[in-house]
């Protein structure tokens, strides 16, 4: 019998298996196909590779607008896809080798729960026994009701990453991180972007001021933005996609549906365990991420934070909990988030919509920051939220602001005061000094 059996080899499952191995627990990891999960294979890593490969296009455009020079960069998309595949496979191999060195047994199979200590392996028709079971099967793309992805005209985010040609016009439904990052990538390659958001704010999970700044930026770049509207109908007509909105119809060469994600709980055998699901069908957990006796749910599948680094952190925590190295509750936990591309967006802690009336706001513009100026950028700000003279939230939008996220997280976690910020010298010229400016107000 294993000390712990983990179903799902994404960021959460890998981190749990690695930590369990380091702690000397007899551990098994069950992954039906690809180690690394969505993050490595179809999410965080490929999208950042794509954005990095197209950054020169945007840099040249910035320099041209400033009349500092001209130039051209032409991306070889098929070669980019090959490079992605090479890097992803190499990382999958590295994950497997790391776990094997730690004594973790890896089963390439589909696991489902028979009871609280028994897992059935579909392909090998065998079972595994575990004193503790960690569920880490993540999420998958959510489609609109009655709509099927076809990989050519109506795309999931995974399918969009496999396109070998660039659509002249790309409609995107949803302005969360996936919609914005994929929109930036295809915009750099020349696609006209039509962005449709059902809510009245772009990046609706972010601070309202962030959404307003983002809208202003994208409109300057001629993105066609539709806020507060839903696509009533999407259909393929010939070589085009026709989207019917309440007030008008839109034609595009392809449509990316990026309206969120749903948990991978089908065929997991949850009906055999006395656990509960949330209204959105995520697995409900307690403050220690426990779903039932000896069963934990980590990462996207519990619906708390659909972020790879949150899944990894939860995986390590639960492994330490099982090993007796951790006793404190996991929740509540401070989890930072980033959206990449241009402009970048960060958020940690509270937003204005989370606060009551008794709070304060301080800001710093990035327009005069020398590092932002050096990159040809001219937009953005850092925003700090205060309660009782302590920092409770930081958000920012602008070039390279993702570089601030760890320092911002430390500041919010420790609820800095202005006096705390004055204890440290912030190097010049850096992006960080604008964070200090925002704090000192």
Task: Give percent helix, percent strand, percent coil of the chain, each to the nearest 5.
Answer: 35, 25, 40
| One domain for residues 164 and 24 | no
Q: How many domains does the chain have?
A: 3
Residue 147 counted as domain residue: no
Tell me which H or E stretch contains 40: helix 37-42
User: Does residue 320 surpass a pLDDT of 90?
Assistant: yes
Query: 144-179 pLDDT, tens per residue?
Result: 887 889 999 999 999 999 999 999 999 999 999 999
Hey, CA dihedral for 33, 39, 43, 49, is it positive or negative?
Answer: negative
Taking residues 240-269, what's their average pLDDT? 94
CA 341/CA 167 separation, integer angstroms: 19
Q: Residue 102 sits in a domain of what CATH number?
A: 3.50.50.60
The mean pLDDT value of the chain amounts to: 95
Residue 53 counted as domain residue: yes
Domain range enclosing 371? 343-440
Q: Residue 375 sits in a domain of what CATH number?
A: 3.30.390.30
Confidence grade of residue 106 (pLDDT, cut at 50, 70, 90): very high
| One domain for residues 6 and 135 | yes
pLDDT of residue 247: 87
Backbone φ, ψ for residue 439 (5° rounding)? -70, -45
Instruction: Name, in order, each residue with C-beta under 8 angstroms of 238's C-beta and a sequence gap of 6 or more.
Output: none
pLDDT of residue 146: 76
pLDDT of residue 176: 96
Residue 149 counted as domain residue: no
Query: 387-422 pLDDT, tens per residue?
Result: 999 999 999 999 999 999 999 999 999 999 999 999
pLDDT of residue 379: 87
| One domain for residues 245 and 272 | no
pLDDT of residue 62: 87
Alpha helices in 66-150 (DSSP H): 77-101
Confidence grade of residue 143 (pLDDT, cut at 50, 70, 90): confident
CA 401/CA 413 separation, integer angstroms: 18
Going from the C-alpha of 293 to that of each of 9, 122, 322, the distances in angstroms are 22, 24, 12
- Selection from 62-76, 330-344, 372-386 with the highest mean pLDDT: 330-344
At residue 44, the 3 state secondary structure works out as helix
| One domain for residues 8 and 122 | yes
Residue 190 counted as domain residue: yes
| One domain for residues 356 and 433 | yes
| One domain for residues 210 and 191 | yes
Residue 378 counted as domain residue: yes
User: Does residue 65 surpass a pLDDT of 90?
Assistant: no
CA 348/CA 51 separation, integer angstroms: 23
Residue 380 counted as domain residue: yes
pLDDT of residue 441: 83
| One domain for residues 37 and 118 | yes
Query: 184-240 pLDDT, tens per residue?
Result: 999 999 999 999 999 999 999 999 999 999 999 999 999 999 999 999 899 999 999
Residue 338 counted as domain residue: no
Taking residues 338-342, what's their average pLDDT? 96
Question: Minimal CA–CA distance to 53: which of 27, 23, 87?
Answer: 87
Going from the C-alpha of 185 to that of each of 167, 171, 373, the distances in angstroms are 12, 13, 22
Tell me which H or E stretch contains 233: strand 233-237
pLDDT of residue 378: 75
| One domain for residues 291 and 209 | no
At residue 21, the 3 state secondary structure works out as helix
Taking residues 346-372, what's their average pLDDT? 94
Using a pLDDT cut of 90, give the percent of the chain over it. 92
| One domain for residues 240 and 365 | no
Residue 372 counted as domain residue: yes
Tell me the whole-structure pTM to 2 decimals.
0.94
Q: Are 285 and 273 in contact (CB under 8 A)?
A: no
In Å, how far from its chain's centre is CA 143?
Answer: 18
Look up 226 and say whether it is catalytic: no
| One domain for residues 210 and 293 | no
Going from the C-alpha of 318 to that of each of 6, 7, 277, 323, the distances in angstroms are 11, 14, 20, 9
pLDDT of residue 144: 84
Q: Are 380 and 399 in contact (CB under 8 A)?
A: yes
User: Does residue 248 surpass a pLDDT of 80?
Assistant: yes
The domain boundary residue, chosen from 236, 259, 282: 259
Taking residues 111-139, what's their average pLDDT? 95
Residue 180 exposed, middle or buried by CB count within 10 Å (0-12, 13-18, 19+): buried
| One domain for residues 223 and 298 | no
CA 76/CA 88 separation, integer angstroms: 18
Question: Minimal CA–CA distance to 162: which of 175, 179, 150, 174?
Answer: 150
pLDDT of residue 377: 74
The domain boundary residue, chosen from 215, 233, 259: 259
Confidence grade of residue 6 (pLDDT, cut at 50, 70, 90): very high
Tell me which H or E stretch contains 210: helix 208-220
| One domain for residues 303 and 390 | no
The domain boundary residue, chosen from 242, 259, 276: 259
């Amino acid at each position: 019998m294993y000390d712990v059996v983990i179903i799902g080899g994404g960021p959460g499952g890998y981190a749990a298996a690695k930590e369990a191995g380091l702690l000397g627990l007899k551990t098994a990891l069950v992954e039906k196909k690809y180690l690394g999960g969505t993050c490595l294979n179809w999410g965080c890593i490929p999208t950042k590779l794509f954005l990095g490969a197209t950054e020169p296009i945007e840099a040249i455009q910035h320099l041209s607008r400033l009349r500092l020079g001209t130039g051209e960069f032409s991306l070889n998309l098929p070669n980019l896809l090959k490079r992605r595949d090479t890097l992803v496979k190499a990382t999958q191999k590295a994950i497997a080798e790391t776990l094997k060195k730690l004594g973790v047994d890896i089963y390439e199979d589909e696991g489902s729960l028979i009871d609280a200590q028994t897992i059935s392996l579909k392909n090998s028709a065998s079972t595994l026994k575990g004193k503790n079971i960690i569920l880490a099967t993540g999420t998958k793309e959510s489609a609109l009701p009655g709509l099927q992805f076809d990989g050519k005209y109506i795309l999931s985010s995974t399918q969009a990453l496999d396109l070998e040609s660039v659509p002249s016009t790309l409609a995107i439904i949803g302005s969360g991180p996936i919609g914005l990052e994929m929109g930036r990538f295809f915009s750099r390659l020349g696609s006209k972007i039509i962005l449709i958001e059902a809510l009245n704010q772009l990046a609706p999970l972010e601070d309202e001021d962030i959404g307003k700044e983002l809208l202003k930026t994208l409109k300057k770049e001629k993105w066609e933005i539709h806020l507060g509207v839903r696509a009533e109908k999407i259909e393929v007509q010939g070589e085009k996609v026709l989207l019917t909105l309440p007030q008008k119809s839109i034609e595009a060469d392809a449509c990316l549906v990026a309206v969120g994600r749903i948990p991978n709980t089908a065929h997991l055998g949850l009906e055999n365990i006395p656990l509960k699901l949330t209204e959105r069908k995520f697995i409900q957990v307690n403050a220690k991420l426990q779903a039932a006796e000896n069963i934990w749910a980590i990462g996207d599948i519990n619906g708390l934070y659909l972020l790879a680094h949150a899944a990894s952190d939860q995986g390590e925590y639960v492994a330490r909990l099982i090993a007796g190295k951790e006793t404190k509750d996991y929740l509540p936990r401070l989890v930072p988030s980033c959206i990449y591309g241009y402009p970048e967006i960060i958020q940690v802690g509270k937003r204005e919509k989370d606060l009551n009336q008794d709070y304060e706001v301080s800001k710093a513009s990035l327009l005069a920051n020398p590092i932002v100026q050096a990159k040809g950028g001219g937009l953005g700000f850092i925003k700090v939220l205060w309660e009782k003279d302590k920092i409770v939230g930081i958000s920012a939008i602008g070039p390279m602001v993702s570089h601030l996220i760890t320092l911002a997280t430390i500041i919010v976690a420790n609820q800095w005061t202005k006096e705390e910020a004055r204890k440290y010298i912030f190097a010049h010229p850096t992006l960080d000094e604008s964070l200090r400016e925002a704090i000192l107000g």
